[in-house]
Structure 1
């Protein structure tokens, strides 16, 4: 199954990388905020869907 031209696995892996990077940064700062981590990861996932969907729409119009 694909979402806006990429597989769900790819999208989940991208979001997981964002989560791990933000977690590592927060851990090094000694200020892990779980709500921020989950919100940022979910926002990244949604924004990538929107950006890829818009780029696919623009490609199909050309």
Structure 2
């Protein structure tokens, strides 16, 4: 495991606090990707495709 210096920890914490929405977005995107690539069943993927189509439709409006 790579060790992180105290200065880097402080810098990370400062960025996290200043960018809460971006951090949440990145975390959720990563969770979705990992779910799709590692855990999703065929049924889950079909549902995801429906959700994606629905979201695309919403973004076009």
| TM norm. shorter chain > 0.5 | no
Greater relative contact order (CA < 8 Å, ≥ 6 in sequence): 1
More helix as a share of residues: 2
Larger radius of gyration: 2
TM-score by length of 2: 0.36
